[in-house]
Amino acid sequence: MSIVVAALVAVTVLVALEGAGPAALSRHLYLAPVIVAALHFGAPGGALAAAAAVLLSAPFVLPEIERAGLTTEAIEGLVTFGVVVLVGVLSGVLRARAGRHRRRYELLVTIQRALADEAALDVALGRLRAALASRLRVDAVAIVGRDGERLVVAGGDRVAEGSLAARVLESGEAIFVGDTGGDGRARRAFATPLMSGGHAVGVLAVERKGEISLTERATLEAVGAHVGIALENARLVSRQRRFADELAQRVAEARRELEELDRAKSAFVAIASHELRTPLTALQGFSEILAVRRLPPEEVARLASVMRREAKRLGRIVSDLLDLSRIERGLEPALCRIPVKIDAVIQATAEIFRQGSATHLIMTECEPALPIVEADPDALERVLTNLISNAIKYSPTGSTVCVGARAAAEGVAIEVADAGRGIPAESLSRVFEPYYRVPDAAGAARGTGIGLAVVKALVEAHGGTVHVESAPALGTCVTVVLPPAASLTPRAARV
């Protein structure tokens, strides 16, 4: 600045010393400080320097006009005025325009750098705000970004309802406020939406005590659009990565489940083969004995009784397998429902076990006048058979298995309780899964791991529920609740 002033004064002194009035050759030297001022300070600098040059040279031109009118020398002086002003203003404007383009480019690069690394939205916005604050030369800058329903604010605590930022976010239109209040120089505010896909995904707000020119506003709008797209890209990349991680996790889980299922099925095949082979072997062996030997009638009756029991067991296993097959195909077990008195079914089933097993005490306890349920008697018997046989299998010899029924709010509750080892808490939620067997129980008793799955499917096909309660070392109680005949669901009634 001082160099420009000194140069202008020096040129004026030269013109004065030359003594040639308005046509002094050294007057052209005014162009040098004017151009320097324009290149350094832009259009205002160029215009001011040109005005100063005109003011300084006026005392050499105007007296000539006053004295002799528009002489050639005077016209030369006036033309010099025009040229100096034109050069000053034009150079300044061009310099300012170039400067604006450079700043805009640098700003975009700054934004790219700020958002280059993948980071959480609040971190990215904070980084971006810091970068913009150092570039935009404003008094305050804030960036607001949408993160779902939440607003992340960099440069402030919150977005108040009815504020400029809230209005811009709502309307998606940029708003310029010429005066935000207070004395002295007006404090301007400009807020522009961060646009992505035609929607406002945030707001860029700046405030300055002074001008925010049209050009600056246009630049800020362009920056807003750019930041919006950059933020959206960052958000998409982040989301994509999150999805990929989730997908990988789910695939790993599914794979683990499949591997476990595969192991369970392999185990099931082995167990089922064994379970099928045992009664078959008994049937085959006893039938051969009956075919080739002549035995006393009591022995024949005993062998026939064993064969009948093993055939029943074989039939039950096959029925369970068929039901399981239907369940796995997404079908419900086929039922033939009729009104059934639960206590009668319980008594009959318990009696069968009493006759077949002398190792456990089977106790029944049914409330009088239980509601009638509409059920498939055969399915109900299989449910009870599965539950009672499980109770017998997993409780110590000589213990008691209690089978009872009572009226409940939802219908009739059937409970089968034993005094066995119980089921660990972590296995309780899985005991109704097909092929699942409680790990430490697998070696304690024979079983296919499909009994409870079949029980659950049969009960639910009746519109009922089943749940298990167990305390380690105290025993297990399985409760089946069946709806009364009057409150059958339509779905269940159709079956």
Q: Is 223 in the site for other proteins (CB under 8 A)?
A: no
By the rule CB under 8 A, 165 interacts with other proteins: yes
How many other C-beta atoms are found inside a 10 Å radius of the C-beta of residue 421?
19
* Measured distance CA(87)–CA(36) in Å, rounded: 11
Q: Is 83 exposed, middle or buried (0-12, 13-18, 19+ CB in 10 A)?
A: middle
> What CA–CA distance (Å, rounded) separates 310 from 3?
116
Rule CB under 8 A: choose which of 8, 205, 342, 412 binds other proteins.
205
Q: Which residues contact 105 (CB under 8 A, 6 or more apart)?
A: none
Binding of other proteins by 324 (CB under 8 A): no
Work out how close the CB of 183 gets to other proteins at its nearest, in angstroms, rounded to a whole number: 5
Q: Report the distance separating Cα 229 and Cα 231, nearest Å.
A: 5
Of the pair 210, 315, the CB lying nearest other proteins is at 210
Stretch 454-493 residues interacting with other proteins (CB under 8 A): none
Nearer to other proteins, 186 or 428 (CB): 186
Q: Does 63 bind other proteins (CB under 8 A)?
A: yes
CA distances, 74 to each of 8, 66, 197, 367, 476 (Å): 20, 10, 63, 129, 119
d(CA 66, CA 321): 123
- Answer for the pair 343, 414: CB distance below 8 angstroms, yes or no: no
* Binding flags for other proteins, 344-383, as an x/- string (CB under 8 A): ----------------------------------------
Tell the smallest beta-carbon distance from residue 28 to other proteins (Å): 22
Burial of 422 (0-12, 13-18, 19+ CB in 10 A): buried
Q: Is 388 in the site for other proteins (CB under 8 A)?
A: no
The pair of structure tokens assigned to 288 is 């051969």
Residue 140 lies near other proteins (rule: CB under 8 A): yes
Question: What is the secondary structure of 260-279 as a DSSP string?
Answer: HHHHHHHHHHHHHHHHHHHH
Contact segment (CB under 8 A) with other proteins among 76-84, 170-178, 288-296, 431-439 equals 170-178
Which residues, in sequence order, are CB contacts of 408 under 8 Å at separation 6+? 481
Q: Which of 78, 90, 93, 177 binds other proteins (CB under 8 A)?
A: 177
d(CA 35, CA 39): 6
- CA dihedral (252, 257, 263, 266) in degrees, to 10, reads -130
User: Which of 32, 160, 252, 348 touches other proteins (CB under 8 A)?
Assistant: 160
Q: What binding mask, one character per residue, do residues 90-129 give for other proteins by CB under 8 A, x or -?
A: ----------------------------------------
Q: Does 316 bind other proteins (CB under 8 A)?
A: no
Which one, 216 or 343, has the nearer CB to other proteins? 216
Q: Quick check: 191 binds other proteins (CB under 8 A)? A: yes
Nearer to other proteins, 118 or 211 (CB): 211
Contact at 8 Å (CB) between 206 and 187?
Answer: no
* Cβ proximity to other proteins, 75 vs 290, nearer residue: 75
Shortest separation between residue 176's beta carbon and other proteins, angstroms? 11
Binding residue (CB under 8 A) for other proteins from 124, 164, 414, 438: 164
Q: How far is the CB of 146 from other proteins (least distance, A)?
A: 15
Taking CB under 8 A as the criterion, which residues in 21-60 touch other proteins? Answer: 55, 58-59
Q: Could you tell me which residues are beta bridge partners of residue 368? A: none
In angstroms, rounded to a whole number, what is the distance separating the alpha carbons of residues 432 and 172?
55
Binding site for other proteins (CB under 8 A): 55, 58-59, 62-63, 66, 140, 142, 144, 153, 155-160, 162-167, 175, 177-181, 183-187, 189, 191, 205, 207, 210-211, 213
